[in-house]
Amino acid sequence: MDSGELKKVGLKATLPRLRILSILEHHTDDHMSAEDVYRALMDAGDETPLATVYRVLTQFEKAGLVIRHNFEGGRSVFELDSGEHHDHIVCLDCGRVEEFIDDTIEARQDRIATQHGFEISDHSLVLYGHCIRDDCPNRDDR
Amino acid sequence: MDSGELKKVGLKATLPRLRILSILEHHTDDHMSAEDVYRALMDAGDETPLATVYRVLTQFEKAGLVIRHNFEGGRSVFELDSGEHHDHIVCLDCGRVEEFIDDTIEARQDRIATQHGFEISDHSLVLYGHCIRDDCPNRDDR
DNA sequence: AAAGGTATTGCAAATCATTCTCATTTAGAT
DNA sequence: ATCTAAATGAGAATGATTTGCAATACCTTT
């Protein structure tokens, strides 16, 4: 168990925290909602209540272990902070999330912020669209 | 009253809708939450319930009159659709919102979406930072 | 290895933003 | 002026997330 990971950021290595960290590390989809994590715990036989999942995820966020995203639809998704910043493309049909980085865009953003008298501390760029894949239930609506 | 505005997009010109449209048009801050609109109505002496505000704003969104944004913090903000797409810079201290457009970024986004096999339908680019202005209560925290 | 103090958990209830139900009212057509 | 479908008002319902508090588990001290 990587209880060291937790202590390193000043968090006690408790069972719920270790379990949730492990799930975030091993799950196929990097981007999980609190509900997703909760269900993954259940599937693993751990009856950790949803409230604890939220609490732990928020602690992880504060500690810099995870990043919280507010994609469309009101619910938050969390991903382990790999240290490398990136932006996202979200499929509105199947919910698939892809990551990308574009240095030109990054550079432009900084310039724009400066021009407007802002000291930028963070940014969020999310492209929403429809992915062209067989396994995507391309909705006919819209 | 611009009841024509509403009929043009296929909405009956009802009192609540006219009032809310008027508020969106005349308010100093272009970006208002449902709660903001609700309070503005109250201040004007109209006791339109919050539920109606939400309903009307959602109808306006569907009709293309307003755009809904999901900035940080879970709450949605609405702005009249001027027809010209733009992105946002939000000050984390005073909440001020500025708008900008950058053609280079726009073009890059399309390219990235295509490269990833996505047909882009929308995007959201929000820069979060701290603005350097006297009237901004530059918090000492962080 | 056992004890103690404090952070953390579990549970249930609370909160927040937003949506829905349904009876009543109203805009706009006849 | 009348009628009908659509819209509103009021309050309850919902879904996501947070919080209060008593019970429990870490980690340090002995």
pLDDT for residue B140: 41
pLDDT for residue B141: 40
Q: How far is CA A107 from CA A52, A118, B71, B81, in A?
A: 39, 15, 22, 28
Place of tokens 């399309």: B110
Q: Give me the residues paired with residue B129 across strands.
A: A120, B91
Structure tokens at B17: 């809708």
Say if residue A58's pLDDT is above 50.
yes
| Strand pairing category for B87-91 and B97-100 | antiparallel
Which of the 56-115 residues on chain A come under 7 Å of nucleic strand C at their beta carbon? 56, 59, 74
The predicted model gives B110-138 an average pLDDT of 88
CA–CA separation, A131 and A14 (whole Å): 40
Cβ neighbours of A86 in B, within 8 Å: none
pLDDT for residue A135: 76
Provide DSSP, B2-43.
-HHHHHHTT----HHHHHHHHHHHH-SSS-EEHHHHHHHHHH
Say if residue A72's pLDDT is above 60.
yes
Q: Which residue has the higher pLDDT, A102 or B4?
A: A102
Q: Give me the residues paired with residue B66 across strands.
A: B80
The predicted model gives B123-136 an average pLDDT of 87
- For A134, which residue in chain B has the nearest alpha carbon? B117
CA–CA separation, B95 and B71 (whole Å): 11
Least Cα separation, residue B89 to chain A (angstroms): 7
pLDDT for residue B41: 97
Say if residue A140's pLDDT is above 60.
no
Determine, for residues B132 and A119 on separate chains, whether the beta-carbon distance falls below 8 Å. yes
Determine, for residues B126 and A128 on separate chains, whether the beta-carbon distance falls below 8 Å. no
Residue nearest to nucleotide D19 (CA to C1'): A51
Cβ neighbours of B113 in A, within 8 Å: 89, 127, 129
User: What mean pLDDT value characterizes chain B?
Assistant: 90
Residue nearest to nucleotide D7 (CA to C1'): B14
pLDDT tens-digit series, residues B70-91 = 887 778 999 999 999 999 998 8
pLDDT for residue A138: 57
Determine, for residues A129 and B108 on separate chains, whether the beta-carbon distance falls below 8 Å. no
Indicate the pTM of the whole model. 0.86
Any B CB within 8 A of A132 CB: yes
